[in-house]
């Protein structure tokens, strides 16, 4: 294998026309602030070293969700072969809040990027058997039902994936 899973993931996202930014814990806040379009909502990130910046309201309600332009949530995995992110369903609402705004910014750790669909499903097996739910999301919401491809049918028109390096040496 010549390309690393992270490079392949990035290339798959580029093929999908999905924006992608790599950052490290030190640059995380600034990266998010640059990408988002306020008002922003999101849910707390279950990652050590980082938390979402203040511009993101992490206790959304139906009302604030309705008004929001951007959602920032954690992805539990990235899948290189497809440029997919795995969005777990959590009691804090991270899964469905990601579906309501025009822009969704999923944050995935480098160490959570797997190469293949089979690899991702192997990891999901025990979690689903434990009662969890998750969405494998690839690019924005889309439909061709109205005579041409349109992004943003019921979900986000745009997705911007943030890859968080877990090894600060490797960040750019």
Partner 1 sequence: MSDAREATADRIRHLLRTEGAAVEENTLGFNQGRYDSVADLEDYEGLKHRAREIKADAIERLPELIDEVTARVEANGGTVYLASDAADANRYIREVASEAEADRLVKSKSMTSEELEVNEALEADGVDVVETDLGEWVLQLADEAPSHIVAPAIHKSREEIARLFNELFDPDEPLETAEELTMFAREKLGEQIREADVGMTGANFITADSGTIMLVTSEGNARKTAVVPDTHVAVAGVEKIVPSVEDLSPFIELIGRSGTGQDITSYISLLTPPVDSPVVDVDEPDVAFADRDDDRAFHLVLIDNGRMAMREDDDLRETLYCIRCSACANSCANFQSVGGHAFGGETYSGGIATGWEAGVHGYDSAATFNDLCTGCSRCVNQCPVGIDIPWINTVVRDRLNRGGDPSRFEFLYEELVPDEEPSGIDLQKRLFGNYGTLAKLGSATAPLSNAIASLSPVRSAMERLVGIDSRRELPSFERETLRGWFASRGGCQVSLADADREVVLYADVYTNHVAVDRGKAAVRVLEALDVHVTIPSVPESGRAPLSQGMVSTADRRASEVFAALAEPIDAGRDVVVIEPSDLAMFTREYERLLPAPSYERLSSNSYELFEYIYGLLENGADPDQLRSGGEAIAYHAHCQQRTLGLEVYTTAVLSELGYDVLESDVECCGMAGSFGYKRQYYELSMDVGDRLREQFERDPARNRRVVASGTSCVEQLSDLLTRESEHPVMVIDPAD
Q: Per rule CB under 8 A, is residue 147 in the interface with partner 1?
A: yes
Q: Per rule CB under 8 A, is residue 125 in the interface with partner 1?
A: yes
- The residue from 4, 11, 21, 142 that contacts partner 1 (CB under 8 A) is 142
The stretch among 30-38, 46-54, 70-78, 141-149 that binds partner 1 (CB under 8 A) is: 141-149
Binding mask of the shown chain, residues 43 to 82, with x at each position contacting partner 1 by CB under 8 A: x---------------xxxxx-xx---------------x
Opening angle at CA 54, ends 136 and 164, nearest 5: 40
Q: Per rule CB under 8 A, is residue 10 in the interface with partner 1?
A: no
Element holding 10 (H helix, E strand): helix 5-15
Binding mask of the shown chain, residues 92 to 121, with x at each position contacting partner 1 by CB under 8 A: xx-xxx-x-----------------xx--x
Q: What is the DSSP letter of 138?
A: -
- The residue from 124, 161, 162, 163 that contacts partner 1 (CB under 8 A) is 124
Q: Which two tokens stand for residue 138?
A: 């690839």
> Residue 101: which of 39, 18, 20 has the closest Cα?
39
β-partners of residue 78 are 85, 113
Minimum CB separation of residue 115 from partner 1 in Å reads: 12
- The residue from 150, 163, 167, 172 that contacts partner 1 (CB under 8 A) is 150
Q: Where are the alpha helices (DSSP H) in 23-166?
A: 28-35, 62-67, 94-97, 117-129
Residue with tokens 């997919």: 84
Distances (CA, A) of 141 to 35, 132, 155: 19, 23, 5
Which residues sit at the interface with partner 1, rule CB under 8 A? 43, 59-63, 65-66, 82, 84, 89-93, 95-97, 99, 117-118, 121-122, 124-125, 128-129, 131-150, 152-156
């Amino acid at each position: 294998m010549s390309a690393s899973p992270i490079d392949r993931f990035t290339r798959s996202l580029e093929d999908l026309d999905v924006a992608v930014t790599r950052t490290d814990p030190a640059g995380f806040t600034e990266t998010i602030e640059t990408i988002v379009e306020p008002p922003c909502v999101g849910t707390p990130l279950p990652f050590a070293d980082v938390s979402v910046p203040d511009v993101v309201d992490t206790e959304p309600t139906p009302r604030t969700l309705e008004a929001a332009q951007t959602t920032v949530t954690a992805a539990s995995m990235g899948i290189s072969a497809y440029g997919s992110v795995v969005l777990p369903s959590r009691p804090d609402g991270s899964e469905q809040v990601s579906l309501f705004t025009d822009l969704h910014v999923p944050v995935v750790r480098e160490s959570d990027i797997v190469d293949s669909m089979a690899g991702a499903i192997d990891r999901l097996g025990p979690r689903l058997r434990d009662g969890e739910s998750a969405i494998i999301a690839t690019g924005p919401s889309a439909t061709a039902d109205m005579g041409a491809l349109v992004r943003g049918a019921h979900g986000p028109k745009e997705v911007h994936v943030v890859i968080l390096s877990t090894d600060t040496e490797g960040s750019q």
